[in-house]
Amino acid sequence: MTLNIQRQAPEQSEIMVANNTVANTQQKRLSIGIVGGGIGGVAFAVALSRDSQLDIQLFEAAPQFSEIGAGVSFGPNAVKAIQRLGLEDSYQRIADSSPAPFEDVWFEWRRGSDDAYLTASLASGVGQSSVHRADFLDAIVANLPEGIAHFGKRCVEVQQDADSATAYFDDGTHFTGDVIIGFDGIKSAVRHHVMPPAEYGEITPFWSGTYAYRGMIPTDELEAALEAKGSENRLALVPQMYLGKDRHILTFPVKQSQLINVVAFITDRTTPNPKLSEGEEWVQAVSQEELLEVFEGWSPACQAILECIPEPTRWALHELPELPRYHRDRVLIVGDAAHALVPHQGAGAGQALEDAYVLASLLSDENCDRHTVNDVLAAFEQVRHARTCKVQRTSHEAGNVYEYAGIGIGDNETKLIENLEHRFDWLWNHDPHDDVVAAQLYLA
């Protein structure tokens, strides 16, 4: 469909809606189009919606808000971002935590061959703070004012000029505003505009070499299965990580401890750049037999866990290379669109929430308007880029450590324990408000 729309004054935004009429928005200090309605995008929209001088429009490809996946774990830095975003009450109503006396335990680490305890990583005051992804998204959406979200809007292209930026959608509609923010995930269309292939080459997600088998188990069922194998019930209720060569398994409770989230990983390290088979889907249902075969010979507790997952799904974990930039004039990519990573530090959603808080704080500043917003987006990139790239890099390294492939560590349990007890300190001991302050100094 060819759309011929008269450009409006740049201080207003325009939305081409389904009947091809232009919906004008009331003049505000800044108009912001958000592409992507996952956890990060919705949290960002909620934070911006508190500023009456901002016009916010959020565009989601799906017919309604929805999340794929099961449990998601948040470290102390992510919980701090949730608090800063004003979403703590919504979060705490649904969040799980480690039971007493293990409140501060993020994970206990065990040998996968025999369940032997190695050590624990402690997140003081937070422990294993986790939720079911869909529950968390629903809790955030409840804070989003009416009229901001638009569904069935899959972004296919972004364009901009000196005064505005436009997102085009596959249904023939479009949005024009002062800025476009791409929260549209690892397969981002907005990224294509920020980093055009003619200049940067094709930037596409790559397979990490790791498959993740996922399942959810009713807690009472897992407790019974562990008991039948001679293992203690604590292994169901306290978050666990079972380690082995090229494989590891994690478990933690979700849904008020009614369910146990299980992810079992296996990594192909036989080649430097492993490839998926041609046409292979990223996510597919597989047999329990395949899962049990991958972990044949593992400990009684591990067998009990995996035998409770009759219909596992297998996820080919993809990530992005570290990108040299996230920002191009009036367009910015954030969250997985900018720095998608493997889940081995439980850090992906946390980085999206940090991005959401920092960016919302900067855009809500009364000194940020359509004339200064380019500089504000550049300041955001300046303060966030090094941290998010390091999180990508260390998340990949963490998977190696868990699977006895860490450089200088291998299967040396003394070195392994020392690494696991302290490797997350730099990640967790971070307040995203410090990034806001740094950006403001950069802009001064």
Catalytic residue set: 214
Per DSSP, the residues of 115-157 read --EEEEEE-TTTSSEEEEHHHHHHHHHTTSPTTSEEES--EEE
Give the residue carrying structure tokens 């929430």.
353
CA gap 90, 236 in Å, rounded:
26
DSSP label at 276?
Answer: P
User: Going by C-beta distance under 8 Å and a sequence separation of 6 or more, which residues neighbour residue 136?
Assistant: 39, 67, 72, 91, 94
CA gap 218, 126 in Å, rounded:
24
Yes or no: say if 59 and 189 are a contact pair by the CB < 8 Å rule.
no
Yes or no: say if 239 and 250 are a contact pair by the CB < 8 Å rule.
yes
Among 172, 160, 149, CA closest to 62:
149
Yes or no: say if 260 and 130 are a contact pair by the CB < 8 Å rule.
no
CA gap 163, 439 in Å, rounded:
23
CA gap 301, 222 in Å, rounded:
10
User: b/e for 195-227, b at 16 or more Cβ within 10 A?
Assistant: beeeeeeebebebbbbbbbbbbbebeebbebbe
Among 232, 226, 241, 235, CA closest to 120:
241
User: Going by C-beta distance under 8 Å and a sequence separation of 6 or more, which residues neighbour residue 135?
Assistant: 94, 254, 255
HSE toward the beta carbon, residue 115, CA cutoff 13 A: 15
CA gap 443, 332 in Å, rounded:
17
Beta strand 117-122 pairing with 105-111: antiparallel
54-60: strand order across its sheet: 149-151, 54-60, 30-35, 179-182, 331-333, 327-328
Q: Can you say how many angstroms the Cα of residue 7 is from the centroid of all Cα atoms in its chain?
A: 36
